[in-house]
């Protein structure tokens, strides 16, 4: 079949990216979350950054409230987990409730799910029975908020879906991660900044964040578009108590901002350690 995937509404400015991770198994500790570091990696490879992440258990009221905030934010938000058809999967229903929309079986999703069921029957050497109760139940995985758009699933054809700039994928990493990549590459490539972002920092000993704050504020005011960051540590295995102080932005911005940072630190008489560069 030909898969039609309407594009999301066009954004007029660079978006903030968010992540919602759904599942009791994460909050109970039965499973360790792997989505947060991977989504950070996928965004970073495209010169983008994750703005925030929310974790929520399998509670419909909490999921609905979380998704209401996501839709209202105007951000690009990826939601992982809870889009299956078992009793503890609530995300599809909560997305519809958050939007005030009815649920409907998406025709493309139905076709893809039926393809998957036929493939499974063929692999198992059985006859595909489209009206078998189990197969009818599996179609619930294609019931999305009305007007949703399909996210193709290269692993087993069972699709995810998008509404506005919120994108819903399964909780299984083997499915979720290529689906997130597909959404990024198909719908947000105009915001990619590959190899156009650099982070440069220095280890600072014997100083307090409060004392360095005026310098940080002055640098952000002086260099438009540059972000200044401070990462304190009290028990680093190599550096012990220290602050990693740095700037991030385009290479051209950092060529000017980082020397200004070092110059400003000289005025504090701070002891400086190794310098770090991340691209």
pLDDT of residue 196: 65
Joined together, the tokens standing for residue 26 give 């994460």
Task: Check residue 62 and give its pLDDT.
Answer: 98
**Same domain flag for 244 and 182:** no
Q: What is the pLDDT of residue 12?
A: 74
Query: Is residue 184 one of the residues assigned to a domain?
Result: yes
144, 264: one domain: no
Angstrom distance (rounded) from CA 203 to CA 255: 18
Instruction: Tell which of 171, 191, 211 closes a domain.
Output: 191
Tokens of 226: 């540059």
pLDDT at 239: 85
Same domain as 260, residue 179: no
Domain of residue 219 covers 198-278
**Which phi and psi angles does 58 have, rounded to 5°?**
-85, 55
- Beta bridge partners, 53, equal 19
Q: Find the CATH number of the domain harbouring 208.
A: 3.30.70.2860
Helix H segments across the chain?
24-27, 35-44, 60-73, 91-99, 107-124, 133-138, 173-187, 209-222, 251-266
Q: What is the predicted pLDDT for the residue at 195?
A: 57
Which residues of the chain fall below pLDDT 50?
A: none
The pLDDT of residue 1 is: 56
142 part of a folded domain = yes
Q: Where is 82: in which H helix or E strand?
A: none
Residues 151 and 218 in one domain: no
- Give the per-residue pLDDT at 155: 94
| Residues 130 and 241 placed together within one structural domain of the fold | no
Q: Is residue 176 part of a domain?
A: yes
Task: Answer whether residue 3 is part of any domain.
Answer: no
Quote the number of domains for the chain: 2
Same domain, 36 and 161: yes
State whether 68 and 184 are in the same domain. yes
CA 260 to chain centre: 33
pLDDT of residue 214: 92
- Confirm whether 2 is domain-assigned: no
Contacts of 236 (CB under 8 A, 6+ apart): 242
Q: Is 6 left (phi over 0), alpha (psi -120 to 50) or beta?
A: beta
Q: Is residue 9 part of a domain?
A: no
Are 26 and 158 within one domain? yes
Question: Could you tell me if residue 211 is inside a domain?
Answer: yes
* pLDDT recorded at residue 237: 84
pLDDT at 221: 95
């Amino acid at each position: 079949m030909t898969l039609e995937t309407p594009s999301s509404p066009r954004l007029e400015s660079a978006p903030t990216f968010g992540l919602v991770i759904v599942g009791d198994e994460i909050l109970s500790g039965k499973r360790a979350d792997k989505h947060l570091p991977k989504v950070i990696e996928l965004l970073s490879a495209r010169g983008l950054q994750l703005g925030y992440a929310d974790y929520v258990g399998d509670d419909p009221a909490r999921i609905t409230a979380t998704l209401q905030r996501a839709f209202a934010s105007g951000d690009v938000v990826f939601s992982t987990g809870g889009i299956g058809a078992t009793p503890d999967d609530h995300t599809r229903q909560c997305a519809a409730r958050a939007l005030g929309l009815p649920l409907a079986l998406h025709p493309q999703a139905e076709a893809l799910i039926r393809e998957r069921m036929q493939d499974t029957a063929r692999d198992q050497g059985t006859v595909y029975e489209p009206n078998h109760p189990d197969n009818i139940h599996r179609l619930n995985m294609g019931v999305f908020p009305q007007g949703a758009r399909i996210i193709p699933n290269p692993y087993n054809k069972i699709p995810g879906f998008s509404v506005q700039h919120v994108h819903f994928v399964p909780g299984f990493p083997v499915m979720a991660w290529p689906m997130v990549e597909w959404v990024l590459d198909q719908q947000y490539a105009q915001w990619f900044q590959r190899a156009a972002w650099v982070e440069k920092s220095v280890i600072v000993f014997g100083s307090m964040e409060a004392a360095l704050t005026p310098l940080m504020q002055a640098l952000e005011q002086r260099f438009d578009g540059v972000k200044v960051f401070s990462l304190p540590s009290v028990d680093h295995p190599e550096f012990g108590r220290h602050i990693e102080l740095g700037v991030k932005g385009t290479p051209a911005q950092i060529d000017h901002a980082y020397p200004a940072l070092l110059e400003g630190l000289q005025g504090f008489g701070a002891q400086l350690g190794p310098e770090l560069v991340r691209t």
